[in-house]
A and B are shown apart, each in its own frame.
Chain A
Amino acid sequence: MDRRHFLQAAVMITGGFATRAIARLAQSGNTLPLPQAPAAEQSYIKALTEAQQQNIAAMAEVIIPRTETPGAVDAGVPSFIEHMVAQWLQPDEREIFMFGLARLESQCQRQYRRSFSQLAPSQQLTLMEALEEQASNSPWYDFANVQRQYIEDAPFICQLKELVIFGFYSSEVGANQVLRHDPMPMGFDGELILSAGDSSWSTIRTM
């Protein structure tokens, strides 16, 4: 939520003196008294070559493409993946990821004499579908196998999908333009009509 929306919401919640004081503080350019966690983007580090970055971007876009709404690249997913690979994957998992990335690239070179990122969309899709076919016995695909942290030996394609999907639907673009984001609902309605085209709310853990 940006500052303007926060202030609108804060006015609705509390009204009165405290909020006006917060508003004045914000207008004066000072930081809000409610600090926020550092944005993930600010801590992104580079761990991939430019060619690898381009391939990751192309793969992310195959998984979640731009349609009538923004896609993975629009949402900044490639740099999220780089960050996760560098900072979040365990060493063994990172090895699987980097090996999978390299192997796919060498397959592209062998088959098409081009990088993955330079292939036609249909060629890219065919390659990724083949990877998924090879990985189809992985427990990663087991129904409802999601209440866990991470499958340590998940194949490259599964790692990639998991990171792309988490990155995309947690992103500001994904939350606001593909899902629905409602940080200050101000009430509860348990019977809201759900039409066929309606999206889920963006991820806010409810407790």
Chain B
Amino acid sequence: MPIDTKIEYDAIVVGSGITGGWAAKELCEKGLKVLVLERGADIKHGLDYQSEHTPPWEVPFANKSDRSANQNDYPVQSQSYAFDATTKAFFNKDSDNAYIAAPKQPFHWIRAHGVGGRSLIWGRQSYRWSRQDFEANARDGNGCDWPIRYDDIKDWYSHVEKHVGISGAKEGLEQLPDGEFLPPMEMYAIEKTIKARLQDKMPQLTLTMGRTAVLTQHHQGRAACHYCGPCPRGCSTGSYFSSQSSTLPAARATGNFELRPNSVVEKLEYDPISKRVSAVHIIDANSQEKIRFISKLVFLCASTLATPQILLNSKSDSFPNGLANSSGVVGRYLMDHFKMQQVGVFVDDIDKYYKGFRPNGTYIPRFKNLPGQETQNYSRGFGMQSDPLRPDWRFHYNQKGFGKKLKDTLRKPAPYWVWVLGAYGECLPRYDNRVELDENKRDRFGLPMAKVSMSFGDNEKRMAKDIARSSQKIFRAAGAVYTKIDNDMSIPGSSVHEMGTARMGKDPNTSVLNRWNQAHDVPNLFITDGSCMASSSCVNPSLTYMALTARACDYAVKQLKSGLI
């Protein structure tokens, strides 16, 4: 029997990442007593950023990948661009927390393991969805219609942006709405050159400074970015948004906040009489003790794969297929943006260099399949993120020669710029892409493992062809002297934009959540992580998760206070 706690919380939030942190902040600030359950260990702001400013000579093995250790313990996480010796403490140890990918369907579940979740290691790009994005399902019939539109969320975007601090430039584009921005970061000379050429030769494109949750000026007690470079090591000046730097301190300041790390949620308990979630069952990751917490509200912010895992493991007579799953779609319609990466070489501005390690690139918003344009042979669209790179010794150490000349060549920047163009393509929601439980395979807590089956469909493949063609055109217009066009699409999951496994919708028979991120089946259960998404747009999703979370919290508290929940 689990240990029963005596306290009744107003709300329990499962997960302390980007959305869990937001739920904690909003609910605490509205006066609720909140418990946040985090399965990973505690990571304290500043104090636990062990390698934050570690210089290259103190990084083990000169930061060459520790191959056998990574293969044993981090075979999936080590594929992430943000993973290295200095950041691995923030990542999930795959050998401890395994999952299953269906045969011939590789899937990368890039997963954090600690307080703050992926907010410590995220890419920080922050874009609003457009009107077109929320209307897309209704227009082309893929997925179920969103129960909300842009106007329902736009004030909530402003609400979260003002707290987060997003630097970026206003462009007045319908397909990429402007937000509440801090001043944008500066461009490299080569980016200005490319921007001018694109304006001239491809005026239908916009190249704008990346909109990022990194501060360009002091903001809400957090310091402006000092441009040291490797953000995913953690930032003790709080210059980028993380739960640690931003939402958890705000929650803590209310006096209503309690955080319990090392708390693996086993299941939610459902009371058929009150028709509510009545308790959250956890396993303490250290002591293996089972504990039961009670609460009036439950917010699942555990992530797109972990949230359905919890729901599917919460079976009862009322919900034999898993909690809030009368529709049967929990775990289904899993999406992730597919990514393609192209390289262009430029010999312009080679007498210009840079100072400071800018943790941000530039962005080309979607420019295909917009209203009024010709229709492509695929639906939806893609956006492109780009980064200039001035190759140093790490990119040409494998050359012939010895001595003074070699030393001097390796010392200097290469006489060219590389402009890396990465496209994120929208992924359609498809029934067969799913996460389910494998009851025969159990993890170290005795819980059934998640089994993921996902592949990209024909629409994505047609779009990928256009991305390759468009990249070549952009490089040509921008003046590249050499290009490398790669037709490969990323492995599902590896863009770390997975979403859709407990989607919002108007119809309780085909969706899990209503327009307030409230479970159709269970009025005191809210899900605001990526699971809630009914489509994927092509922009990075975190900002939208934040806005939806804040909006859902506002609604939930009003419902609670008026006695409806």
A residues engaging B (CB < 8 A)?
Answer: 1, 6, 9, 12-14, 33-40, 43, 62-65, 67, 71, 80, 84, 87-88, 90, 125, 128-129, 132, 136, 140-142, 144-146, 149-150, 158, 161-162, 165-167, 169-172, 175, 178-179, 181-194, 198-207
| Bound form: Cα–Cα A94–B187 in Å | 45
| Bound form: Cα–Cα A146–B396 in Å | 7
B219 to chain A minimum Cβ distance, whole angstroms, is: 14
Does A34 lie within 8 Å of B46, measured CB to CB? yes
Does B60 lie within 8 Å of A40, measured CB to CB? yes
Does B353 lie within 8 Å of A35, measured CB to CB? no
A9 to chain B minimum Cβ distance, whole angstroms, is: 7
Query: Is B236 positioned at the interface, with any CB of A under 8 Å from its CB?
Result: yes
Does B356 lie within 8 Å of A169, measured CB to CB? no
Binds A, one of B143-151, B221-229, B423-431: B221-229
Also in contact, A192 and B355, with CB within 8 A (given A40-B60, A199-B412, A205-B63): yes
Does B355 lie within 8 Å of A88, measured CB to CB? no
* 397-433 of chain B: CB within 8 A of chain A: 397-400, 402-404, 406-408, 410-413
Scoring A67, A181, A206 by chain B CB atoms within 10 A of each residue's CB, the highest score goes to A206
Does A34 lie within 8 Å of B53, measured CB to CB? yes
Residue of B nearest to A204 (CB): B229
| Bound form: Cα–Cα A207–B80 in Å | 12
Query: Is B299 positioned at the interface, with any CB of A under 8 Å from its CB?
Result: no
Partner of A182 from B223, B355, B390 at Cβ < 8 Å:
B355
Does A200 lie within 8 Å of B412, measured CB to CB? yes
Does A189 lie within 8 Å of B356, measured CB to CB? yes
Q: List 18 A-B contacts (CB under 8 A).
A: A9-B226, A37-B60, A38-B58, A90-B68, A150-B64, A166-B397, A171-B56, A172-B55, A184-B226, A186-B227, A187-B227, A189-B186, A190-B188, A190-B352, A190-B358, A198-B413, A203-B63, A207-B359
| Bound form: Cα–Cα A158–B398 in Å | 8
B residues engaging A (CB < 8 A)?
Answer: 46-47, 49-68, 81-82, 84-86, 123, 185-189, 191-192, 223, 226-232, 236-237, 350-359, 390, 392-400, 402-404, 406-408, 410-413
| Bound form: Cα–Cα A140–B54 in Å | 30
A177 to chain B minimum Cβ distance, whole angstroms, is: 10
Does B49 lie within 8 Å of A188, measured CB to CB? no
Also in contact, A190 and B189, with CB within 8 A (given A90-B68, A162-B398, A167-B62): yes
Contacts of A172 in B (CB 8 A): 55, 57
Partner of B55 from A1, A33, A142, A185 at Cβ < 8 Å:
A1
A196 to chain B minimum Cβ distance, whole angstroms, is: 9
Also in contact, A192 and B397, with CB within 8 A (given A169-B410, A201-B392, A205-B63): no
Partner of A37 from B59, B64, B187, B411 at Cβ < 8 Å:
B59
Does A37 lie within 8 Å of B50, measured CB to CB? yes
Contacts of A63 in B (CB 8 A): 402-403, 406
| Bound form: Cα–Cα A198–B51 in Å | 28
Does A36 lie within 8 Å of B186, measured CB to CB? no
Contacts of B226 in A (CB 8 A): 9, 12-13, 184-186
Contacts of A65 in B (CB 8 A): 403-404, 407
Does B350 lie within 8 Å of A187, measured CB to CB? no
Contacts of B223 in A (CB 8 A): 13-14
Does B229 lie within 8 Å of A188, measured CB to CB? no
Contacts of B191 in A (CB 8 A): 190
| Bound form: Cα–Cα A181–B411 in Å | 12
Does A40 lie within 8 Å of B64, measured CB to CB? no
Residue of A nearest to B232 (CB): A207
Additional A-B contacts beyond A65-B407, A186-B227, A201-B357 (9; CB < 8 A)? A141-B398, A149-B64, A185-B357, A190-B354, A191-B188, A191-B189, A198-B353, A202-B55, A204-B357
Scoring A186, A193, A198 by chain B CB atoms within 10 A of each residue's CB, the highest score goes to A186
Residue of B nearest to A65 (CB): B403
Contacts of B188 in A (CB 8 A): 190-191
Partner of A207 from B67, B81, B187 at Cβ < 8 Å:
B81
Also in contact, A192 and B354, with CB within 8 A (given A1-B53, A204-B228): yes
B558 to chain A minimum Cβ distance, whole angstroms, is: 38
Does A170 lie within 8 Å of B63, measured CB to CB? yes
| Bound form: Cα–Cα A203–B354 in Å | 14
Also in contact, A185 and B62, with CB within 8 A (given A170-B57, A190-B187): no
Also in contact, A185 and B49, with CB within 8 A (given A169-B393, A203-B392, A205-B63): no
Residue of B nearest to A144 (CB): B395
Contacts of B49 in A (CB 8 A): 34
Scoring A9, A64, A71, A203 by chain B CB atoms within 10 A of each residue's CB, the highest score goes to A203
B50 to chain A minimum Cβ distance, whole angstroms, is: 6
Contacts of B353 in A (CB 8 A): 192-194, 198
Contacts of A80 in B (CB 8 A): 62
A34 to chain B minimum Cβ distance, whole angstroms, is: 6
A129 to chain B minimum Cβ distance, whole angstroms, is: 7
Contacts of B68 in A (CB 8 A): 90
Residue of A nearest to B121 (CB): A207
Contacts of B390 in A (CB 8 A): 200
Contacts of B56 in A (CB 8 A): 170-171, 175, 202-204
Does A184 lie within 8 Å of B228, measured CB to CB? yes
| Bound form: Cα–Cα A204–B185 in Å | 19
| Bound form: Cα–Cα A198–B354 in Å | 12
B150 to chain A minimum Cβ distance, whole angstroms, is: 30
